[in-house]
Amino acid sequence: MNHAATLSKRPDACRLASQAVPAAEIIADNLADNTAENTRCSAQGADAPAGRAVVSVAHDADEQARNLVGWRQTYDQLAAGRFVGTLTEIPLDTMKVFCETTSHTLRQACEVRGDAYWFGIPATRGQQARVDAQPFGAEAFAMRPGNVEFELLTPAQFSIYGVVVRGEVLRHYAQTVEGVALDARLPHTPIVQAGAARLAHLCAVLEQRLDDHDDDARHDADGDRARSACTPLSDAERNDVQAELLAALFDACARHGNADDAESARQTPEQASRRRWIVAQAREYVLAHRSRPVGVPELCEQLLVSRRTLQYCFQDVLGMAPATYLRALRLNGARRDLCGREAGSVQDVAAAWGFWHLSQFATDYRRMFGMRPSEALRAS
């Protein structure tokens, strides 16, 4: 088997256990040592930082099952050999996000506790798993409600993303942000046919969020040290992460050729005027709350529109997604302040415009304007 080729198809957050499979007796021990050294936050500890990815390693299938908190489950290893598994997890307020990698074929009897929903998205390309005997892989993912036992069969050297969301959160988000009832969006079968493009987008969002455990040694373009991966995210940052993940999940669950999409895409003169008004109101709201990053869900609730309607408005009026424009709006405001005569420090200006992660602000600023924030400040 070409392990290098297999690893190249996996996201960074899910590669850890896969690297241990070829020489399990030797590499598995190194894997545990390296993880203990590189991951200074315990996945199961009470002090795990909210919103930051943490990693645990297991050398037994039952141990792997126990590492997933909030589940009733039993793992049976169905192929011979020493087992190695990893769990990369982000603890959030209203959901759990993780990537699970396992070295051997497993039969899993699973049940999410309470009023919650589990979404299982394959992270390993070219392989299929089965939920309640139904295959899913290249264009589909699995979904099961809480308090319902299901069977999951996963192949060897397999990685799967998991998202567990509280039911009340999904229902509120569906109603206030998506403008639909949750039952109208989620299928009543274990399999969600997302399509290759939507599934790829969902995987990309999950991979990006789960990869932040590699960031604690990064430096930004101005030489300022990035925050440690063990530093908890702020409330607003965690809300942004959760909103981004919910949006990606709902996009993946959207039915192809939805009649509402076709209706929303049409435009009458009255609709054109209303869309311009909605964009203007969104801009005013963001500028009035510039000291914090206003997200799309908040705008939807304030303007009483669905996320899809907001998307159509911005796409029609400005030719870009709402989040893209709102970030550009804040970056331009920060640029004007940096170039002004009374500019403070880069950090002060960034915070005044809702950029609380200084290294990310520097990266976004340089990408937008072709210079570092400190260069703009010195030139003022």
CA 218 and chain centroid, separation: 20
Question: What pLDDT sits at residue 231?
Answer: 63
C-alpha distance from residue 83 to each of 44, 107, 142, 371 (Å): 20, 13, 24, 49
CA distances, 265 to each of 1, 33, 45, 271, 296 (Å): 48, 54, 48, 10, 19
Block residue for tokens 């911005």: 314
pLDDT in tens, the chain (380 residues): 443 344 334 455 555 444 433 333 332 333 333 333 333 233 334 455 666 788 999 999 999 999 998 899 999 999 999 999 999 998 888 899 999 999 999 999 999 988 999 999 999 888 899 999 999 988 999 999 999 999 999 999 999 999 999 999 999 999 988 888 888 888 888 999 999 899 999 999 999 888 864 443 343 434 333 344 456 677 777 888 888 899 899 989 876 544 444 445 556 778 888 898 999 999 999 999 999 888 888 899 999 998 889 988 998 888 888 988 999 999 999 999 998 767 678 989 999 999 988 888 998 898 889 888 988 888 76
DSSP 225: B
Contacts of 362 (CB under 8 A, 6+ apart): 220, 221, 222, 224, 346, 372, 373
Nearest to 107 by CA among 70, 146, 41, 151: 151
Residue 147, SS3 per DSSP: coil
Q: Residue 114 burial (CB < 10 Å; 0-12/13-18/19+)?
A: exposed
User: Could you give the CA distance from residue 204 to residue 210 in angstroms, rounded to a whole number?
Assistant: 10
Q: Based on the number of CB atoms within 10 Å of its own CB, is 101 exposed (0-12), middle (13-18) or buried (19 or more)?
A: buried
Domains of the chain are 3-210 (2.60.120.10), 257-380 (1.10.10.60)
Residue recorded with tokens 């960074």: 12
CB-hemisphere CA count at 13 Å for 276?
Answer: 6
Q: Token match 């893209």: residue?
A: 324
DSSP 213: G
pLDDT score recorded for residue 38? 34
